[in-house]
Amino acid sequence: MLAETGCEGAPSVLVAAGEHSADARHRPCERVINPGDALLVSVGGRWNGYCAEVARVFAVAEPPEDFDAMYSVVLAAQRAAVDRVRPGVACAEAATIAGEVIDGSGYGDYAAVRAGRGIGLSPAEGPWLAAGERFEAGMTVCLEPAIYLPDLFGARVADVVVCGVEGPELLSTGSRALHVLDR
């Protein structure tokens, strides 16, 4: 599908199931995807020299216990972060608000180290979601809050967002809802 849409390459692809979905840097292994697994799929591509990434979460047959509740926190954290992408706003505010949503849910100890990064000619570049930088119109960021529960499951939602003159513009249009796959 990437090639059909004009993608010049896929510098990163991650598919992680079950307990491996709690590993942000999971590498392929012999584990079989089973009913009841959380499934994390993240794909990075390059079009016309620019990088993009999207990550979505699935459940196989049925979500693991308590997964829906955790996943709803990740979605709320991403929505809150996206809403902060506006010209003049400190970049760190997007990361801070995502962290506050996750902390307030009780999952704070399991939040990913970062809630996003700049993306453009490189898969990771400025603006960094850190103190000292402010959003400017035209900047692009990949907002990707995540919760990783070791040895159980994890969830990350990643989307590229452009800082528009009037506010955030999501470049991906796909659903962020938890997709439950048939066996």
pTM of structure: 0.93
- Quick: pLDDT tens for 108-132: 999 999 999 999 999 999 888 887 8
Residue 35 CA to residue 22 CA, distance in Å, equals 17
HEC string of the chain equals CCCCCCCCEEEEEEEEEHHHHHCCCCCCCCCCCCCCCEEEEEEEEEECCEEEEEEEEEEECCCCCCHHHHHHHHHHHHHHHHHCCCCCCEHHHHHHHHHHHHHHHCCHHHECCCCEEECCCCCCECCCCCCCCECCCCCEEEECCEEEECCCEEEECEEEEEEECCEEEECCCCCCCCEEECC
Q: What is the pLDDT of the chain when averaged over all its residues?
A: 93
- Quick: pLDDT tens for 2-60: 778 888 878 788 999 999 999 988 888 999 999 999 999 999 999 889 999 999 999 99
